[in-house]
């Protein structure tokens, strides 16, 4: 279990690092709003992730693996490219009301 947790943390950290390194936007073109993200310029996201594992245990929890996503109440005006490559993804939900989700290259959502 310890190896699984360490692997999950390392995988999530590397996915975030790749996603942040790949984000290129024109100055002033990406604006955070209270309802989500508003993109009005050119934005490119190139995200690469290896093996990811997310586990939700208990009640009312969510296990998510997300690669290259712009979420929220997204309003996009302009060109937006997302190139997302993901390896093996596993999301496990155990318990009442839990959810498991694997997402690759998602633009809108919660």
Indicate the average pLDDT of the chain.
74
| Phi, psi of 70, rounded to the nearest 5 degrees | -115, 110
pTM: 0.53
pLDDT digits (tens, 9 = 90+) for 10-55: 555 555 544 444 444 444 444 545 567 788 888 888 888 888 888 9
- Predicted local distance difference test score (pLDDT) of residue 35: 64
Regarding beta strands 36-39 and 75-76, do their DSSP bridges make them parallel or antiparallel, or are they unpaired? parallel
Residues 83/47, Cβ–Cβ less than 8 Å = yes
């Amino acid at each position: 279990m310890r190896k699984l947790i360490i692997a999950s943390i390392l995988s999530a950290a590397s996915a975030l690092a790749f996603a942040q390194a790949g984000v290129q936007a024109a100055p002033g073109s990406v604006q955070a709003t209270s309802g989500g993200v508003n993109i009005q310029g050119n934005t490119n996201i190139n995200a690469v992730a290896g093996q990811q594992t997310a586990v939700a245990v208990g009640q009312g929890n969510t296990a998510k693996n997300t690669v290259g996503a712009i979420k929220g109440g997204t309003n996009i005006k302009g060109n937006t490219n997302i190139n997302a490559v993901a390896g093996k993804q596993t999301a496990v939900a155990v318990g009442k009301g839990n959810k498991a989700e694997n997402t690759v290259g998602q633009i809108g959502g919660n």
